[in-house]
Amino acid sequence: MFSLTLALSNLLQQLGLSQIVSEIIAFALIFTLAIGIAWIGHSLFKRYLCRWARRTETNLDDEILRNVRAPIFLLAILFGLYYGLSGIASLQAYSEDFATAFTVGEILVVTFTITRIINVLVSWYAEQSAKRGKQVSNHILFILKKVVQVVIYVFALVIILGVFGQNLSGIIVGFGVGGIAIALAIQNILSDALTAFSIYFDQPFEIGDFIVVGDYAGTVTKIGIISTRIQLLQGEELIISNKNLISTSVRNFKKLQRRRIVFTVKVTSETSVEKLKKIPHIIAKIIKKTELTELDRVHFRDFGDFSLDFEVVYYIMTGDYNKYMDVQQQINYGILEEFEREKIEMAYPTQKIFYVNEKDTA
């Protein structure tokens, strides 16, 4: 390209044009040629590659192609501008400056393209997660994008400084010392921020999950970069730092798919043996005909202080607490109805006191 510029300039000078005029015309031709090639490439890119991408199952390739189309066009223009100016003899003294500026421009365009592709990938991941029914925190995604962009631009800055001939070892050491100083100054904030990313990727809970943390129970409403907000059952909002949240045990009831239920039925001590033998069959029949339940066992467990106790164990096939209470209520009604029909009395705390007449004992 550089020899072509000189050849055009020399050819125009042979036609009787002055050196300056021939160099300007040669620059204009080379620059126009570069723009033409870039425009043809842009059109082919849009017509064929983008059309092919639209026939694929996902829109990821469409978005990537749409975001890299303009930077590629800009890069072609930079090539035309650089090689066009390089052919001007009066500017040869600044050739190294042109080369440096062109290299910096290339680095910036490539960096910008990489950041746009990363934004597309993160947005596509969030979209796919939403389709799978997994809610993603937009706040954390925004922070993730910014952190990745800052890292990429820092690397680009280091490379640009190397192009200008700076001592990269000293710069890297300076970045390291500065990073350590900043990290020590904001270590608590960084700890919460890193924990937020841990929550995001490990996913011990998500927005909308019902969790129990220590003595608090409620629904997760927001997972932030510093703290998590939980709407408690009492109505108030609990704001807890991510570091403290992860350092304690978290019980997630949203992931509960099968709940084991144990309850006791107490009948009076005067209940006959015949009726006692009927009770396990009565309760088992009630549970088996109730929806969302699976009977485990019913046993005459022990002799209580004022009652005869039966232990009932069954499973309910849902994690929804309200549905569990509806099922338990239905079972309780069924037990009361059958006991009333069989004339089996439920026990309640009672005591028998025997009075002894001292005259009778004398």
How would residue 134 be classed by pLDDT, with cut points 50, 70 and 90? low
Q: Are strands 237-241 and 210-213 parallel, antiparallel or unpaired?
A: unpaired
As given in the structure block, the two tokens for residue 237 are: 């909002």
pLDDT in tens, 234-275: 889 999 888 788 778 888 887 788 889 999 999 998 899 999
Give the residue, 88 or 325, on which the prediction is more confident.
Answer: 325
* Residue 262 neighbours by CB under 8 Å, 6+ apart: 311, 312, 313
Spatial distance between the Cα atoms of 267 and 306, rounded to a whole number of angstroms: 9
Q: Which CATH architecture has domain 204-252?
A: Roll (2.30)
Eight-class DSSP state of 48 = I
* Residue 10 CA from chain centroid, whole number: 62
Q: What is the pTM of this model?
A: 0.49
Give the residue, 109 or 285, on which the prediction is more confident.
Answer: 285
Spatial distance between the Cα atoms of 71 and 113, rounded to a whole number of angstroms: 6
Sequence spans of domains, the chain? 2-185, 204-252, 259-342
As given in the structure block, the two tokens for residue 260 are: 């084991």
Average pLDDT over residues 112-132: 78
What order of strands is seen across the sheet that includes strand 308-316? 259-267, 308-316, 293-303
As given in the structure block, the two tokens for residue 192 are: 């919460």
How would residue 283 be classed by pLDDT, with cut points 50, 70 and 90? very high
pLDDT in tens, 175-188: 666 666 655 555 56
Is the distance from CB of 312 to CB of 351 less than 8 angstroms? no
DSSP string of 121-159? Answer: HHHHHHHHHHHTT----HHHHHHHHHHHHHHHHHHHHHH
Residue closest to 256 by CA, chosen among 202, 294, 290, 212: 212
User: In CATH, what class is 259-342?
Assistant: alpha beta
DSSP string of 7-65? Answer: HHHHHHHHTT--HHHHHHHHHHHHHHHHHHHHHHHHHHIIIIIHHHHHTSSSSHHHHHH
